Amino acid sequence: TGMTYFGTGAAFILGCMKADIRPNRDFDLSKIRALGSTGSPLPVTGFAWVYANVNDHLALESVSGGTDLCTAFIGGARLLPIYAGELQGPSLGAHVQSFDEAGNPVIDEVGELVITQPMPSMPIYFWNDPEMARYRESYFEMYPGVWRHGDWLKVNERGGCVIYGRSDSTINR
């Protein structure tokens, strides 16, 4: 195949791993330069499966964003090293941090994923919420003036990020 970039979800990668699918046995995947994974955190075992069963020289870019934002705010950066189980860092223009319960930025601790400055694609209100009560409650109640996304996040000293899943039920509302 002449494909150079493949975008997929962590669930697909983990499903292939569980089913013992080995695509590089049956196909020439040597031209793939990058593989993007989103939808949920890709664990270390998923990284290992990709490098062993797709190809071992591609840039594996685990990405996190939000349907509500229509964008990614943490993802890959081709100039940075890739560490299994980690997202490389904030996307261009995304002021992402991890906050503790008191609203202080934390490093090497799991906290709330927050965006401390506006992004162009942030929603400005919810439909059928004329008083903006649900909107404020969903994103700005815990840390006034700061977007709380609803994911657990650890940012390490080198700027790499690990997402540990949802911290709220915004998706289920």
CA angle 10, 13, 16 (to 5 degrees): 150
**Dist CA 115 CA 95 (whole Å):** 5
pLDDT, tens only, 98-156: 999 999 999 999 999 999 999 988 999 999 999 999 999 999 999 999 999 999 999 99
Q: Could you tell me if 140 and 95 lie in one domain?
A: yes
**Dist CA 149 CA 65 (whole Å):** 9
> What tokens does 149 get?
């996304």
How many structural domains compose the chain?
2
Last residue of a domain, one of 13, 28, 62: 62
Q: Could you tell me if 46 and 103 lie in one domain?
A: no
pLDDT at 43 over 70: yes
**Dist CA 5 CA 23 (whole Å):** 15
Domain-embedded: residue 74? no
Domain-embedded: residue 82? no
Q: Could you tell me if 56 and 112 lie in one domain?
A: no
pLDDT, tens only, 16-29: 999 999 999 999 99
Domain-embedded: residue 135? yes
**Dist CA 16 CA 23 (whole Å):** 9
Domain-embedded: residue 77? no
**Dist CA 144 CA 29 (whole Å):** 48
Domain containing residue 21: 1-62
Q: Could you tell me if 153 and 94 lie in one domain?
A: yes
Burial of 3 (0-12, 13-18, 19+ CB in 10 A): exposed
